[in-house]
A = this chain, B = another copy of it.
């Protein structure tokens, strides 16, 4: 084993883009900014860059910590750092907050130049394809012609996959983790329940709640609670909480009876305290819309035909949001198109959220894969 350590103190940077970005929804974004972080050093050949794409509630803060907020550790810090599976002694790693986000990149919280007010719900719909285009602009600005790899879990995996489709000559490896080639009706249904909770919250004000000095906290908490159930496995919830009663016996109340209720409420309220509801809406829609095969008669192999990257696809045994069968759809389509792909299904009880955990077999697979990437 290597010695591993943290990337240490990191500082987000801002990249500004003057040229308008044409979006799939038909709108054009008149200039924008992306907040990003980097870890490690870009080598002289500019061949060791790895882009990390985030999922629904993620951000550009992927590794390390902030000088003024040391408890705020990057969401994939267990994976990325000197000697870690994604080794910053070898790679130059970039985390970026997606367009439409609420962590500093242009999004609903930004000022709409046409009105001088915050975009709010008028921020145009952004898609996985748009995000990839915007990432390519960031790569241009950083002087990165080609990524050694693009990696992401869940919605982040969709971006990695689409990098290989949209910019085949600019990506060496696509790591698609705990992901799917498109949402099922059930996936969309859960998103819709989450959206309705926000849209129907009286504090939503048609998405212009900022101007009313409120946020749709009830709806956003509700959305997060629903989502959270789908991130965990039935089994992991049972191990964690079972039917444990807060008071040892029923008190016959709608207050917390079972510990799992307390956990869910806490997760919901915490999330509603820092995340933006309009970003949540936008991002769930990006998930719904994602379907690279749709423009190819539903044929994923054809959708992936231009890809030149090598693929690593990883799934987790108890993930029921994006089950292993969904990863196998991607693997099958790649094999059918004679693409190079490795696949690992990791036994882990933690459900969809497994991709964020330091599961030894999982991190071993990623370490071996990254070790074999030549830069």
The 8 Å CB contact of A243, one of B193, B232, B265, B291, is: B291
Q: Find the B residue at minimum CB distance from A239.
A: B185
Q: Does A186 contact B238, Cβ atoms closer than 8 Å?
A: yes
Instruction: Chain B residues near A264: list those with CB within 8 A.
Output: 189, 192-193
Q: Does B254 contact A281, Cβ atoms closer than 8 Å?
A: yes
User: When each residue 290-326 of chain A gets 1 if its CB lies under 8 Å from chain B and 0 otherwise, what string results?
Assistant: 0100000000000000000000000000001000000
The 8 Å CB contact of A222, one of B184, B197, B237, is: B197
Q: Does B186 contact A243, Cβ atoms closer than 8 Å?
A: no
- Tell me the complex Cα distance, A139–B289, Å: 55
From 10 to 47 in chain A, residues with beta carbon under 8 angstroms from any chain B beta carbon are 25-26
Q: Does B26 contact A182, Cβ atoms closer than 8 Å?
A: no
The 8 Å CB contact of A258, one of B196, B222, B288, is: B288
User: When each residue 260-303 of chain A gets 1 if its CB lies under 8 Å from chain B and 0 otherwise, what string results?
Assistant: 11001100100000000000010001001101000000000000
- Please give me the 8 A-B residue pairs with the lowest Cβ-Cβ distance, nearest first: A185-B237, A25-B252, A125-B252, A186-B234, A185-B241, A185-B260, A192-B261, A200-B218
- Tell me the complex Cα distance, A7–B81, Å: 72
Q: Does B229 contact A193, Cβ atoms closer than 8 Å?
A: yes
Q: A200-B218, A222-B222 are in contact. Are A260 and B189 (CB under 8 A)?
A: yes
- Tell me the complex Cα distance, A32–B190, Å: 39
- Tell me the complex Cα distance, A184–B234, Å: 7
Q: A195-B254, A200-B218, A265-B196 are in contact. Are A260 and B225 (CB under 8 A)?
A: no
Instruction: Chain B residues near A254: list those with CB within 8 A.
Output: 195, 199, 281, 285
Q: Find the B residue at minimum CB distance from A268.
A: B196
Q: Does B222 contact A189, Cβ atoms closer than 8 Å?
A: no
Instruction: Chain B residues near A260: list those with CB within 8 A.
Output: 185, 188-189, 192
A336 CB–B CB distance under 8 Å: no
A56 CB–B CB distance under 8 Å: no
Q: Does A229 contact B189, Cβ atoms closer than 8 Å?
A: yes
A364 CB–B CB distance under 8 Å: no
A257 CB–B CB distance under 8 Å: yes
Q: Find the B residue at minimum CB distance from A186.
A: B234
15 example contacts (A-B, Cβ-Cβ < 8 A) are as follows: A26-B252, A182-B243, A184-B238, A184-B243, A185-B243, A186-B237, A188-B260, A189-B229, A192-B225, A193-B264, A197-B197, A200-B218, A222-B222, A243-B291, A252-B285
A70 CB–B CB distance under 8 Å: no
- Tell me the complex Cα distance, A255–B321, Å: 24
- Tell me the complex Cα distance, A257–B208, Å: 22
Q: Does A226 contact B289, Cβ atoms closer than 8 Å?
A: no
Instruction: Chain B residues near A195: list those with CB within 8 A.
Output: 254
User: When each residue 173-199 of chain A gets 1 if its CB lies under 8 Å from chain B and 0 otherwise, what string results?
Assistant: 000000000111110111011011101
